[in-house]
Structure 1
């Protein structure tokens, strides 16, 4: 189970586990059977003590950015019945509070633009159901507009002087290295034409 926001992978949330000694276990590699398509996870259920894996004593809300919430004990005996599920409402609430703090630290959009974007999202959601081909065309137009705006904004950010990646990351709601990658990505869109 993962939780996503407008920040995407930078702030993907999940229910992580904590070992009895208070440490966080290393990611578990899941073998799908045949083939080389291994998947890794840090989610709590992978640390049940089975298949030579460590057994978690606690769970907590976690974020891809490194944020960790308060720990809550796991009652493995209660979870032995397949019908029982772990109550993660409190962990999700902790992570949501973290996301709200991230959002408060980002650079605010002008109110008129924010409202326009919400209206656009509503119209596009309806268009997908009513006229999917028109929605696809709209996505292409928005993609071009987004790339152009990103390229111009990245250039303007760079022209403002020496970049402080930590400050830009906070303003965008991402880690400093993601902010740097985003600026580089948009700058490279301008290389070689549109």
Structure 2
């Protein structure tokens, strides 16, 4: 289970992280297949329940949000006493949801560090989005044409800014957009119409 936002995608992909009592990150848990011939590795927080299976599973001590950018959230200690006989995927769900809320707060903070748009342009973009959504309820084909027009506008208007941004430090451009270096490189290449591998 991972979380992403439309604006930042994989640059800020979140998940629930697990820490053991000694503060270490557990290895993935190997789940056997029904045939017993092979299995697969799972890192979902709910498998760290300390179950005495064929290969005993580690028991989570802390759940916390993690982001692909390296950020980690508040550590929430797992209350195994309150869990009683519930499966961890049920007893730990509220804590996992708190981790997602922590990640949401992180994404808001990321947005606050990016380059701001002029207020009038932000309002205009929101108005256009709302107008297309409204149009889509009555005339879906027209809404698709409008969305396609936006794609064409983006390609046309972002060409020179992407080329100009290429002259700046990639780290600074990435920070201004809230993206990682690879995603920034790909975005500039797409709008500037050059190969990201060149």
- Give the TM-score band, short-chain normalised: 0.7 to 0.9
TM-score by length of 2: 0.75
Q: Deviations over 1:14-61 (max 9, x none)?
A: 222222221223456778989xxx997644123334564433221001
Q: Distance in 1 between matches of 2:59 and 2:19?
A: 9
1:152 and 2:160 matched: yes
Contact 2:46 2:92 in 1 (8 A): no
1:147–1:62 Cα change, 3 Å = same
Per-residue deviation, 1:127: 2.5
Residue aligning to 2:181: 176
Deviation at 1:94, TM superposition (A): 2.4
Aligned residues: 184
Q: For residues 88-127 of structure 1, what are the structure 2 equivalents within 5 Å?
A: 88=95, 89-127=97-135
What do you get for the CA RMSD once the two structures are aligned? 3.1
Q: In terms of mean alpha carbon deviation, does 22-31 or 88-97 score higher?
A: 22-31
Q: Classify the secondary structure of the residue corresponding to 1:87.
A: helix
Helix, strand or coil: the match of 1:62? strand
Moved more, 100-109 or 140-149: 140-149
Greater shift in the superposed pair: 134-143 or 77-86: 77-86
Q: TM-score with structure 1 length normalisation?
A: 0.76
Secondary structure of 1:69's aligned partner: coil
Equivalent in 71, 77, 85 of residue 73 of structure 1? 77
Listed one character per residue, the Cα deviations across residues 88-147 of structure 1 (whole Å, up to 9, x for unaligned) are 454234223322221121011111111111112222222333222222222211122222
Aligned partner of 1:59 in structure 2 is: 63
Contact 1:128–1:135 (Cα < 8 Å) also in 2: yes
Work out the CA distance in 2 between the residues paired with 1:117 and 1:169: 22
* Equivalent residue, structure 1, for 2:4: 4
Between structure 1 and structure 2, the one with the greater Rg is 2
User: Could you tell me whether the CA contact under 8 Å between 2:20 and 2:59 is conserved in 1?
Assistant: yes
Mind listing any 5+ residue stretches in structure 1 that lack a counterpart?
none
